[in-house]
Structure 1
Amino acid sequence: MLKCADLTERFQHADTRLTKVEALAEGAVKPPGIVEAMPAHCVVSGAMEERTSPVDGKRYAISFEMRLPTAWNGRFFYQANGGLDGFVTPAYGDTLGGGPRSNALQRGFAVISSDAGHALERNVPGIGGGTFGIDPQARLNYGYQAVAKLTPMAHALIARYYGRPADTSYLVGTSNGGRHGFVAAARDTGRYDGIAVVTPGWRLPRAALAQVWGAQQFAKAAPIDAKTGRPDLKASISAADMALVSARVLAHCDALDGLVDGIVADTIACQRQFDIQRDVPTCAAAAPNDGCLSTAQKTALAAVFAGPTLRDGRAVYAPLAWDAGLRGTDWRTWKLEHSVGPRDAVAMAYVFSTPPASPTVVSGQGTTLQDFALGLDVERGIGIVDAVAAPYTESAMQFMTPPDAQRMASFVARGAKLLVAHGVADPVFSALDSVNWYEAFRAHHGASTERTTRLYLVPGMNHSRGGIATDQFDLLTPLVAWVERGEAPQALIATARGPGSNLPNPELPANWSAQRTRLLCPFPQVARYRGQGDGELAANFHCVAP
């Protein structure tokens, strides 16, 4: 094993430059929510493929950070970023779920994180950091190539530092990081032994288009802002309105699992059981009152949950799932703010459109991101995410999505393992899209599906974490046990993050136990109450076929 400082002179890899190497003592860093001391480790920062774009004239590189623990367990962990990437998060190895109590580095993994080939320009007025999409190569790196390029470099750095290669390799991520996981499995990038993802945005361009279209539906129910002359989306559906819908969902679906407990465990049955037009009272007046929604609000919500369709009847994206967690703050934030701001709108304008929009079009000088989002026709949107035009040699659907996702042929043939978890009240990437993927995967692979993958739905959880949910769970431990010892995972234990937990969830109902536990069952099984015992404990539930 080398000394940390020796890596600067003694590690070389094609088109790679180490920019900083630093040894940190035990306890030198303290990630939020992690109580136990972080181990002594070597931090390596670097850059691959430094270049100047011939298209936009900007400087690009695949920047990365690796953390190499002194007490290494022989494992490699790729920490995939969310959002538009564009930032190097500390390579601690997030184990996913809400408020994890430990991380991969603490457990002895060597961890890498990266910006996927671009740095977000957060100081660009009005348009955020999506303009990297003007550069064709930056698009490809973001989509799939950065992972493919960084993985062999990381393995080489591990072998040089420790004097031997890693025994096993894992890739873990949520949201766009979950998409990275699906893409790595489908392309068999890096030949990972195990991949764990939460909230996988595996059809991200279409999901972004559905988000923008959803904002258009809310705009129809929104008052006009007197200052801007534009729809005030935040006023279209209030937090109280969503709490009302959540309560009506619970009234019709809570007891389906055998216990009225504020959780809708039988997601699929609830979609058949609940109808917003029938089950939520309509206000007699045009303006909504307590205990009812206006006709315009119900129409908007019904459309958003059903999702957009094209003129020929084809669905653009999967419908959203009715669930009690839709009253979570995260739900309204994504639907009424991010959809027309520097997330979905900017991604559609620059990263997923071919050709990309001009920065002057949605810069806030005349036409804003909200104008772009509210004016984007869904038929045109499908065209631009499927389009190819020089110098953009791959469409957004080609470089962003996993090819042949229902097969993942090489990954499956090698016996690699994939764990997927998805919050049912995710406002961005539909949990039903993950269900559709899993059912198509199972239709192709049959009984062998059980040897390769598991899907876990997390009732009440919003985007990646939070919401009205038991959202603290661990995918890494069962994944390692499956890969290395052949112990196939069954039900997982999920815990609520009430007062006194390492990272409390302020949205949990007051009548929940602070440490409520629930079973997360492998889909299509559903957690049902056994009929006796403390309803706050997972031990009194079991997984049954629907």
Structure 2
Amino acid sequence: MKHSRPRGAFARVQQRAASLLTFSIVCVSATLIAACSGGGSTTTGTGSATDNSTVTSTATALTVVKAAVDCSQLASVDVSDIGGTGSKITSATVSTATVDGTTVSYCNVKGVLAPANNFQVALPVSTWTQRFAALGCGGLCGSLRDATSQANFSFSYKCPLVQQGGFVTATTDMGHQGNGTDWTTDIQKQADFAYRGQHITTLAAKKLIKAYYGQAQKYSYFIGCSDGGREALMAAQRYPADYNGIVAGAPAAHFQIQNSVFHGWSVVANSTTGNSSGNAILYPDKIALLHKAVVAACADTPDGLISDPRACNFNPASIECPVGATDTSKCLTSAEVDAASKIYGGPTDASTSAPMQAGRPLLGSEVNWPGVEAPGTGTAAGTPVPVTTGIFSYNIVAGAYNLIFTGSPTMPTIDTFGYSDSNFYATYLAANHLLNDATNPDLSAFQKGGGKLILWHGLADQHISPRYTIAYYEAMQNQMGQAVVDQFSRMYLVPGVGHCGGGEGLANIDLVSQVTAWVEKDAAPASVVTYRTDTAGTVTASRPVYPYPAVARYTGNGDWHDAANYTSGSPLYNVRTPSWPGSIFYTPYAPKQQGVATPS
């Protein structure tokens, strides 16, 4: 296989970068439930059990409060003062949910907040610890998830506070049903999806809490990932008094950019024609080869994960097939090298050659590309797959199209997004930036009110580049000062983990304990242990993650499956996000309000 110098946009980005240069279960009594703490045992790859005690972060023990009225009485609670005329409770019934062998009874309240925000609030009948958590939705939302399902309560791996019914939880479809395009041209439904839906659902949930238990919640939280991460940051920016603590995972905060030029480039970069009329170039079989080569070049710990992909300068051309090769099954063709380089590197400005995007999928994320940046099925030698049907990124752009570009001077297409024109951002994406984006770095009101924010992102995310979360965190530091940001925010980057979970990394993590302990006991998060489990749920490996920019480093002694044998290491990459066309959206701004007035 031939080796050559870096090529195209990816090469320029790489050359520029080079030049710049817990888990465990605590005791739960009949009247007190605490959050998870550090410590526990791990079944290692060798079959032995080792103690992985790290940081203890136990939330305040609060007295359990039981229901003061019958669940059915909540059906008569008036919520029209929150959602307006037509808002109502549609049902209030008791049901049970079983998690890890524990059965919890809930008063499930469903309703609608006008015009069409369907919501559900799950109120524990006899296990409530005076805490409330709003749960974010993903994608473009459009469906009402079961608020009693622990699958919706992400980032709470093995946490009794969550699993044994300590929280009142709430979900919403954000004001529309399905992911069709009709709602994206409705002014009110645009606002409900952008910012209003979660806020009014939270107000309704708090009113129901007061009615059901005879008292208000003591602490309020928001937990979300992907668009739920955007919703989390939107709350901190628009409604800083709604929540005491927020966990925002892989936030689609840069909504305008994410669902147009970012996903759009994934389509054209992997197209035989360079636009949406072509077939895919890269398929799962060749992506597997690419990933194997990346891991061989970049993995820096015994578990084969990449601590910080930004520090690796792997070039896809290193596995390019020799000129004239007849068997290309074990190497990448020139077209495949170009496609991979474009996916990594992103577009560049035609006049300056500067990157047009702050980040693309990072090295090590390839294993998660099928179905997003590439077709989920098929082979390089098989039947060609059109990018419009085989690449999910195309569907994402199509679903959000009207919501993003309403108000633009003209309506571009996925092929005319201005990938090489820096003016595109200000001309086409600025109109709805003030509505949809959650990139305002000034969280002064949230911070001064005592709010705590945990950001996290999987470094192998195939949908949203971790570089955007890093860019937002840096913007917060630039705006508020690092010392102030350190008082109320932490960011964790998890090696090998895909979008909101999955991937080859250790995706089981409990950040709920961290945020509750920080809010309730002022115990600022330090290291957090992540876990890998097999299909039976047995823990097979553990390792810590540290607040950014530190990375976990294996000590060189003991079982590398065991978190106890890792320590905090110095950052591997110190280059801050350079200026790029979208930087204009990461500065303070007054958010746009539209539609009906929203109660505070």
TM-score range, shorter chain: 0.7 to 0.9
Partner residue of 2:583? none
Deviation track 1:3-58 (CA, whole Å, cap 9, x = no partner) reads 1001112444423200111112xxx335xxx42334111000000113xxxxxxxx
Aligned partners of 1:416 and 1:452 also within 8 Å: yes
Partner residue of 2:108? 43
Secondary structure of the corresponding residue to residue 311 of structure 2: helix
Aligned partners of 1:319 and 1:430 also within 8 Å: yes
Q: 1:241-252 counterparts in 2 under 5 A? A: 241-252=286-297
Q: CA deviation at 1:190?
A: 4.3
Partner residue of 1:57? none
Call closer, same or farther: CA 1:316–1:153 in 2, change over 3 Å: farther
Partner residue of 2:404? 352
Aligned partners of 1:263 and 1:460 also within 8 Å: yes
Aligned partners of 2:493 and 2:548 also within 8 Å: yes
Deviation track 1:300-329 (CA, whole Å, cap 9, x = no partner) reads 22122122344455644322253334213x
Which amino acid is the alignment partner of residue 451 of structure 2? A
Where in structure 2 are there 5+ consecutive unaligned residues? 1-67, 375-389, 572-600
Partner residue of 1:366? none
Q: Which range moves more in the overlay, 293-302 or 529-538?
A: 293-302
- When normalised by structure 2's length, the TM-score is 0.74
Partner residue of 1:518? 543
Aligned partners of 1:323 and 1:459 also within 8 Å: no
Partner residue of 1:9? 76
Call closer, same or farther: CA 1:103–1:202 in 2, change over 3 Å: farther
Q: Which range moves more in the overlay, 411-420 or 301-310?
A: 301-310
Partner residue of 1:160? 211
Deviation track 1:364-407 (CA, whole Å, cap 9, x = no partner) reads xxxxxxx95346544596467435xxxxxxx3311111252x22
Partner residue of 1:81? 137
Call closer, same or farther: CA 1:175–1:23 in 2, change over 3 Å: same
Q: 1:25-174 counterparts in 2 under 5 A? A: 28-30=96-98, 34-50=99-115, 61-70=116-125, 71-92=127-148, 94-97=152-155, 104=162, 106-120=164-178, 129-174=180-225
d(CA) in 1 for partners of 2:176 and 2:408?
16
Q: CA deviation at 1:156?
A: 1.3
Secondary structure of the corresponding residue to residue 516 of structure 1: strand
Q: CA deviation at 1:213?
A: 1.8
Call closer, same or farther: CA 1:46–1:135 in 2, change over 3 Å: same
d(CA) in 2 for partners of 1:320 and 1:102?
37
Aligned partners of 2:372 and 2:393 also within 8 Å: no
d(CA) in 2 for partners of 1:451 and 1:375?
43
Matched-pair identity in % = 25
Aligned partners of 2:254 and 2:439 also within 8 Å: no
Deviation track 1:417-472 (CA, whole Å, cap 9, x = no partner) reads 11111011112211111112222222332222221111111111111111111001
Q: Give the structure, 1 or 2, with the largest relative contact order (CA under 8 Å, sep 6 or more).
A: 2
Secondary structure of the corresponding residue to residue 118 of structure 1: coil
Which amino acid is the alignment partner of residue 545 of structure 2? L
d(CA) in 1 for partners of 2:106 and 2:119?
16
Aligned partners of 2:100 and 2:163 also within 8 Å: no
Q: CA deviation at 1:100?
A: 6.5
d(CA) in 2 for partners of 1:316 and 1:205?
14
Match for residue 527 of structure 1 among 547, 552, 556 = 552
Aligned partners of 1:118 and 1:132 also within 8 Å: yes
Secondary structure of the corresponding residue to residue 342 of structure 1: helix
Deviation track 1:248-291 (CA, whole Å, cap 9, x = no partner) reads 22222213xxx332111133322xx32333x3334434887133
d(CA) in 2 for partners of 1:220 and 1:40?
55
Q: 1:202-241 counterparts in 2 under 5 A? A: 202-209=253-260, 210-220=262-272, 230-233=277-280, 236-241=281-286
Q: CA deviation at 1:230?
A: 4.5
Which amino acid is the alignment partner of residue 543 of structure 1? S
Q: 1:170-319 counterparts in 2 under 5 A? A: 170-209=221-260, 210-220=262-272, 230-233=277-280, 236-255=281-300, 259-270=301-312, 273-277=313-317, 279-285=318-324, 289-311=328-350, 313=352, 315-319=355-359
Pair 1:327 & 2:362 matched: no
- When normalised by structure 1's length, the TM-score is 0.81
Secondary structure of the corresponding residue to residue 247 of structure 1: helix
Which amino acid is the alignment partner of residue 308 of structure 2? D
d(CA) in 1 for partners of 2:362 and 2:162?
34
Cα RMSD of the aligned pairs, angstroms, is: 2.8
Aligned partners of 1:418 and 1:452 also within 8 Å: yes
Q: CA deviation at 1:497?
A: 2.5
Partner residue of 2:92? 21
Partner residue of 1:373? 414
Aligned partners of 2:141 and 2:173 also within 8 Å: yes
Aligned partners of 1:220 and 1:300 also within 8 Å: no
d(CA) in 2 for partners of 1:456 and 1:341?
29
Pair 1:461 & 2:514 matched: no
Call closer, same or farther: CA 1:82–1:338 in 2, change over 3 Å: farther
Aligned partners of 1:132 and 1:350 also within 8 Å: no
Where in structure 1 are there 5+ consecutive unaligned residues? 51-60, 121-127, 362-370, 388-394, 503-513
Call closer, same or farther: CA 1:338–1:186 in 2, change over 3 Å: farther
Match for residue 511 of structure 2 among 472, 475, 494 = 475
Partner residue of 2:429? 386
Which amino acid is the alignment partner of residue 457 of structure 2? H
Residue correspondences, number: 477
